[in-house]
């Protein structure tokens, strides 16, 4: 395949951006990244957008003043394709630069309902429609996002499902790691892990409330709660008030490179999120490592988890139901193994990073070919 010059407008500090662009760098394509966030990505040419000192705490409106700067920059780079991530910021800057072909990836919160509001705000909706009307191709990672994009005026034949994908070489079943024993003194106890941020949206409170119920049936069980957020102190206090602090470890942020060893040292993965765009990255990574998963009945979770076949789908804010499913899995090793094997197969077939990026590479090539006709 002939080498392409690809320019991404995206958050360069995001692990999702880094993983996306690394594939194309490793395939020998020339990659440029235009971003407000400073980062270094080996093999990519970085173009960091800097605001004048007087407007360092710039509002979104002030950042729009950089549109001309981006316009000039893109004409200097002369990319074969421009790809923006996130509709209402980098997508808008790309749309206003009028550089073609223009690919846009919606992340979810940029096009779905705003928290506290029933529908997108009028301004956000107008911006989204403007940006999307100028695209040549739009990607997203969930069926309900495809429907939302269609409602915003994007023709169905311009929308393609491309999952961010799991690095199935990195996230795979391995011999049980001793990381929990070394760091937290957890030996042979059965372990449940949560990797969602400690914010109200992810309702980790329900998991904490389920712990006393689980301990009555499986007294030696331990819980690993990773992530940071505004709820951390309150959740620790809740665990203390429930008398389960000795069974819970709040371990903070875990770098992505360290996640495989954690996932290969636990028995069950739980996500209590009240909302997601598509399947959460951490859920897919847990499945790739061969873990049984318990997820809430939101977004596209039922497209990935069939209740009772490769995990369980539970109601949100229902600690009693959650506890029941955790207990069942902890008491039935053969079911955990069966669910885990099924999950590994699902991710390899349907959410494989290498397959998804190959699909994207083919789409870029086709767009460029059409443009040059």
* 339-367 residue pLDDT tens: 999 999 999 999 999 999 999 999 999 99
318-342 per-position pLDDT tens digit: 999 999 999 999 999 999 999 999 9
Q: Which pLDDT score is estimated for 67? A: 85
Same domain? For 140 and 237 the reply is no
Q: Do 338 and 202 share a structural domain?
A: yes
Q: What range defines the domain where residue 257 resides?
A: 179-350
Same domain, 248 and 109: no
Q: Rounded to two decimals, what is the model's pTM?
A: 0.85
Is 230 domain-assigned? yes
Inside any domain, residue 174: no
Residue 292 in domain: yes
Residue 336 included in any domain: yes
Domain match, 88 and 138 both: yes
Q: pLDDT tens for residues 279-288?
A: 999 999 999 9
Residues 18 and 102 in one domain: yes
Are residue 118 and residue 192 in the same domain, yes or no? no
* Residue 301, domain member (yes or no): yes
Provide the token pair at 53: 């000192």
- The pLDDT of 51-71, averaged and rounded, is 67
> Is residue 195 located within the same domain as residue 333?
yes
Q: What is the CATH number of the domain that holds 255?
A: 3.40.50.2000
Count: domains in the chain: 2
Cis amide bond preceding 370, omega within 30:
no
Let me know whether 144 and 192 are in one domain: no
* Residue 237, φ and ψ in degrees, nearest 5: -65, -40
Same domain, 334 and 206: yes
170, part of any domain? no
Are residues 221 and 145 both part of a single domain? no
Using 50, 70 and 90 to split pLDDT, how confident is the model at 276?
confident
pLDDT above 60 (res 57): no
Of 47-51, 169-173, 242-246, 333-337, the poorest mean pLDDT is in 47-51
């Amino acid at each position: 395949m002939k080498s392409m010059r690809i320019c991404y407008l995206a958050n360069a500090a995001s692990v999702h951006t880094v993983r996306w662009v690394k594939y194309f760098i490793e395939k020998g394509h020339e990659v440029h990244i235009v971003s407000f966030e400073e980062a270094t990505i080996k093999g990519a040419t970085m173009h960091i957008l800097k605001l004048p000192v007087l407007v360092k705490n710039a509002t979104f409106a002030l950042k729009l003043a950089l549109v001309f700067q981006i316009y000039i920059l893109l004409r200097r780079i002369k990319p074969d394709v421009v790809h923006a991530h996130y509709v209402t910021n980098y997508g808008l800057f790309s749309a206003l630069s009028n550089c073609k072909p223009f690919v846009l990836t919606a992340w979810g919160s940029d096009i779905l309902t705003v928290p506290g509001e029933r529908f997108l705000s009028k301004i956000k909706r107008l911006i989204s429609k403007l940006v999307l009307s100028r695209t040549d191709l739009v990607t997203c990672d969930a069926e309900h996002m495809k429907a939302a994009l269609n409602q915003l005026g994007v023709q169905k034949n311009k929308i393609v499902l491309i999952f961010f994908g799991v690095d199935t070489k990195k996230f795979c079943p391995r011999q049980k790691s001793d990381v929990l024993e070394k760091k937290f003194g957890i030996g042979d106890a059965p372990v449940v892990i949560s990797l969602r941020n400690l914010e109200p949206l992810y309702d980790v409170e329900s998991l904490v409330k389920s712990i006393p119920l689980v301990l009555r049936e499986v007294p030696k069980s331990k819980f690993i709660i990773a992530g940071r957020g505004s709820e951390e102190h309150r959740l620790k206090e809740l665990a203390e008030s429930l008398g389960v602090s000795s069974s819970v470890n709040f371990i903070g942020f875990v770098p992505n490179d360290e996640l495989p060893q954690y996932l290969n040292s636990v028995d069950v993965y739980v996500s209590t999120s009240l909302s997601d765009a598509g399947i959460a990255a951490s859920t897919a990574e847990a499945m790739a490592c061969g873990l049984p998963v318990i997820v809430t009945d939101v977004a596209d979770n039922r497209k990935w988890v069939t209740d009772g076949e490769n995990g369980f789908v539970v109601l949100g804010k229902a600690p009693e139901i959650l506890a029941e499913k955790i207990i069942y899995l902890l008491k039935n090793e053969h079911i955990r193994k069966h669910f885990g094997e099924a999950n590994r197969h699902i991710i390899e077939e349907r959410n494989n990073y290498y397959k998804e990026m190959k699909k994207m590479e083919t789409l870029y090539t086709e767009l460029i070919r059409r443009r040059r006709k």
